Structure formats: C-alpha cells, structure tokens
Structure 1
Amino acid sequence: MTGRDDNLPSRPRDIVLIGGGHTHALVLLAWGKAPVPGVRLTVINPGPTAPYSGMLPGLIAGHYTRQQLEIDLAPLARYAGARLITGRADGIDRVARMVHLHGQAPIRYDLASLDIGITSDLPNLPGFADHAIPAKPLGTFAQAWEDFVARARAGAVAPRVTVIGAGVAGVELALAARHRLMQAGLSAEVTLLDAAEDILRDVRRGAKAALMEQIRAQNIDLRAGITIRRITATGTALEGGETIPAGIVIGAAGSRPQGWLKATGLHLTDGFVTVDETLRSVTDPALYAVGDCAHLSHAPRPKAGVYAVREAPVLLHNLRAEITGDGRKPYHPQRDYLKLISMGGKRAAADRLSLRVEGAWVWRWKDHIDRKFMRPFHDLARDG
C-alpha cells in the first residue's frame, strides 16, 4: 500500500531514522545532548556500524584501519536514548506507517527519515553482478577489498585491479589500490576504464592536472572512450575482442538509488526521493530524506558527503519542530565546495578555483578534517 492520510498526529511519538548515514549519525549525536521527552527514537541500519565515506580512499590505500572509518551505532544509539535495530529496510507502508524490514517484523513510525545511501553497481553490464564489486555500499566494498588484498598477498589471485569509471571516485580508488598493493610488495597492475574520452569532468583545471600527472607517474593504464562488453571471472571484455585480466573489478561509474523506493509511491526524481526545501518528501509530510538518497527539488546538487553533513542541523530542527509545533527551517546548500582528493600515497589535491594546489600538506589537511569528524563517534565507542 502506498497511499495515506496526509494529516499527521498532533504530537509524533515514534521517530524512525532509516539508515545510519552521515546525516542521521550527526542527528543522533545532537539528540543525545538535548533529547525530547516522550519521543521514542529508533535507528535502523543493515549492520551495527556505518562507514564514513571521506576516509574510504585512505582505507583502500592502507592509511586507515576499518575501525577508524566505522561509526559504531550501538554506543551512539545509547547516547541518543534510541533503540538500534539491525536490519535492512525494503519497504514502507505509508497508510499503516510501517517500515518493512527483510525477514523481520515491521517498525511503526509517526515520522521517519531516509538516509540509506546509494549503490554504484552496474546492473545492465553483463557479468557485473557475478564478477565485480561496486564501490558503494561502502561497507560491502571495504570488506571485499580487504579479502582481495589478503588473497593477493597469499598468491591466490593476481594483483591486478580494474576500476570502471574515471571520475573523482574512480581515480581516487585506482591510485589508492596501486599504492596499497605496491606497499605490500606486489607488482600491481591497475587499469582505469571510462566510456567518455574526457575524464575527470567534474574537477577544475589545476586539480585535474595534478591527478592526471599521478595517473601517469603511478603507471595506471588509463583507457578512455572504450566500451565494455561484459565482466568475466577473469577480467573485463572490451568491444573489439580485447580482454583485460583482473583479480578484482570495481564499479565506480555513477550512482543508483535503492530499488525498493519505487514501490513506496513517493515522488522520485531519477529514483531518488524528491524533497522540498525543508528536506521533507514532496509527497508525504511524515517522511524526510537526506544524503545521497534524496533529490533536492529546490536546489539540485551532485551526490557529495558535504551536503549530507550540512543537512544534519536542518533535519534535527525540523524533526523537533514537528513535535513542538515550531516552524521548520529550509536547507540552502552552497553552490560550490572545496574538494580534497586523495592521490594514493599521503598526498592530495585541492579542487578550488583553477589553481593547482597539491602535496603532502593537503593530505594532512584532509586527514585532520576527517579525523575531526570521526572523533566524537570514536569517543562514544571508547567510553562505552
């Protein structure tokens, strides 16, 4: 069932956060400092932890451990006075106000917010589902990468990596993979594939020059303007007959929404939940959506973690406003933001204006920002 009565109860009692993404993690942190009496807060996530995307290239490169980029949701939920349900949401009954979970009983809500991220799988590419791994969801990919590195070190698989998609994410992952395997003493071979002739289209001239130089310096085999025919158990078959052997094929080309959203009856834009300036669904006032799974109808933006982080105080205020009757606040995303792009080793490039700004100090700057974001979550986990 997808229809519903648009009249909310006068005082919502059950608020359910679906997904443990960056926005929801920050909302839980702030809620713990000033909880609202009489409200039961619930967070649903497929696993007990949620990865922080900003540190993923560093994990792949070997600069961070898995624990350093994981938000432990159990102590965070305890701090917020919330209950944590480990399960995968796969539907919403908006009439009964129930979140359906795979293999578990549904969870009732008065208000709910979606922060379920995206996937970078390529379902229309033959063989991808069986023989490749998407870079998102991050948790699944991080585990697959660690397993691959262990097998490569043991000699069970060739240290050959193919990355599909030569945008910022794909370039970061290709450089990080090369660095990790070389540091492990392996003769790494990394191939970067893209259907377009012009790669790194979303960065300015200075950052692009720095990244292209690193691709050449690290002997990344860049193939632009190619067509992939299929993924096989041994590599990537290109149009024309050539096969590029690989021990792991990583998908980093674009992003797709979670498929189950189609059945909710919510207005979607290219599969993403369409929200208004208050982050509320344009279809259903009892549902909010934030982070990569949301489409900002009033100010469309590319998928980026910086927007998820800055949505948190607005979502927090508006959830409270639903309870107290106060006015909701609008979210106004900035038009541009600084990108700090990892380059494999402990070097990074800054994408701002058209200047070429790069070096070890840029990586230390990025590292400081990322560790600062994670510190309060790690403090809660350490204190129990």
Structure 2
Amino acid sequence: MSCFQAMDWCNLLCVTDQPKQTGNAFGRRCLEDWQMLHGPLPPLLQRYLLADEGDWFLRLAAWLLWLKRNARGPWRLYIDLLPKEEEMSCLMNYRPEKLPEFQSPLIEARARVEREQISALHERLFSSTSGELRALQLADSLEDTLWAACMVNSRCFSETVAGETVSLMVPCADMANHVLSPSASYHFVPEADAFQLQALQDIPAGAEACISYGCTHKDSLALLRDYGFVQPGNLNDRVPFNAGDDIASQLASGGSERPRLSGPRLLTAVGLGQYAADLTPAATAAMGDGEAAAAQRRLIASVMSLQPFLRDLGRPAAGAAAAGAAAGAAAGLPPLAEGDVARERQSVAALQAQCRSLLSRMPTSAADDEALLSGPQQLGVRQQAAVAARLETKRLILAAADALQRYADTLQ
C-alpha cells in the first residue's frame, strides 16, 4: 500500500476515548504538540479535553466549537471548508415540520429524540449563556452545537495507539467519501507519527480516492443519524413484516396461523438456492457500488426480512438452477402435497398483502420519488436526503414483493 496523504499528529484534533481505563498518554502528547504548533488553548478547555469524565464526542465537539470562533491560519481555512449547519442532513438537523418528508414514523421519532438530546446538551454544556463551559463562549445558538455535533458524528476517525483508543478529527482526510468497495484505507502509522491515507489499488489520475467509513453494520436509520445519507441496497435494512404473534394481529386475522414458507424453495426461486445454508457468500459477492449490486443486496435483505417465516433453512438446495421449476423440484426436495401447496400460496399472499399495506401508508410511490430526485426541480439538501431515504425503503419492500411473486410463480 502506498501513502498518498499524511497528516502529522500535531495537526490532528485527538482525544482519548476512555482515559480512566487506558490512560491518555497519546491524547495528552497530541494536545501538547498541537498547542506548541498552533498556540495555547484556554486552561478551561485544556482541562475539559484531558478530563477523565466526559464523552469523547463532547470533548471533540467543544474543541471544534472553540476553533470555529477562534481559529487562525490553516485551522481557519479548515473550518471554512467544512459544511455549514444548513448544508447538513443528519437526523438531528431536521426541524419537526420537515420530518414528514421521510414518510416514516420510525425515522421521525428517532430524529426528534436526536434533536432533543442535542438541545439538552447545548443548554447544559455548550451554550454561551447557560452551559457549564459558557466562559469559553462556544455556542451562541443551538445551530452552532448542531454543527459541531454533526461534524464529529460524520467525520471522526477512531484508532488504537499502544492500547489507547482515541478519536480523531483529521483535516483533509475527513473529506474522503464512503463506498462499499474502497480504493483507499486510513491508518495511524506510529513510525511516521502521522495519520495516513493509503491506496489499496492503483488510482488513475483524476479519479476519486474513496474509503470505507466502517459502517457496514449500520442500517439506513443509523446512517441517517450519523452521516445524513442512506446506502443503496443496505444489507442491514429489513422489511418490517408482522409475524402475527401478537394478540391484536391474531384477532384481526381471525386466528389464522403465521405465514410459513419453504426456505430452500423460496431461495431457489429467486436464484439464491446455493446459499440456503448461509447467505454470507452471496452478500460478499454483492458488495459493489453499481445499481445491479444494490439490487442484489436488496434481494438478499428482503430474503433476510422473511427469515421468521422460513422453514428448513440451513439445508443446501440441490439443483439451484431450477428457479422457475415447479415447487416440488425447486430445491431438490420431495414434491409438496396439494394441501401444502395451498398453504404456501396462502402464506405468500398474506406477506404480499403486508407489502402492499406498507407501501399504501406512504403518500408517494417509488416512481414519484425517482422522478422527484431526477427532475429539474432543485431540492434542498435535507429534502433530497429524505426523499432518497424513503425511496430506498420502498425499493426494499418492492424487492420483497417481487421475491414472493417469483416464488409464487413456481407453485403451479
């Protein structure tokens, strides 16, 4: 791997995550060297940055807020390069009246909690009039605190140096974008006393060097919370099917059983029969950045959403190429009895009805959202992020409905 960008540690904002547990020798050294190069920080801020108490997130936010008001030289240039609060689309940035754009009660509720928590932190800690750090005059308004919180959420790196876990703000490196198949990686290299971006492959001149944010375990809600975007075809997303185990659902359905489907047969019908024992290889093969890979990930996520209803999983499907064959031969299994076929069809119909119900609760269709995103109308940053998020939700539900229909077509 070759290094194409390096930032000495005296140019990093660095705090130790848990100084009580690991000590803060590296964090303290970074702070001392930073001040030798860029000038002393106020004693109150120094004490706060090195304190045993206090979340690393809050300490970095306090440092950023101080720089926003007091930075000179290269740090002034860095602060000016960062997005403004009105250009951010993390959940905490949305005012209550804008939340219906998501068409999701779950996202709306999470966004309200995020904003309430930051508002409370602003009043308690950062506010120039009421906060514990008010002597530093860090934040005149909630928008100032929102800005710093979003910067730390979306741009912070984490590293472990000599057993000490630290969180870092790294100018320039934090402007690298995220992709699922990155061309670069990041590391703190102790021998060089520097944080480096290193190429994982040859990057053509003029091409963008992208990294992975290490967020492959986060669903769309978590990505919106931390970064303000969604990943097309997120393997961690799930269609919120109702298993019908609660009393209200059983009463509504007249006491009918929860849907049950043959896992190997369904997987074979959608072209995943060879992965009946484990979908991990299929997911790994779909980690590209194009729309075809995103569609495959949605298919896999939709099948994983159906897992509570699938039986006989873990049994590899023989004859996986028989995706369009009759149900009895689809996975090398004994033919289904006529009554079993009827029950499979009933289960498919029940789950398809749930897909239609989920889509009907949203005021716009996937086609409407696609047209809005690609149309001539200029959308604001937050509206664009909200429309992209709700479109991704619809695409996942449609992928599940399509998978169910493909299985239904084999039940002839």
Q: Same fold (TM over 0.5)?
A: no
TM-score by length of 2: 0.23
Structure with the largest fraction of helix: 2
Structure with the largest fraction of strand: 1
TM-score by length of 1: 0.25
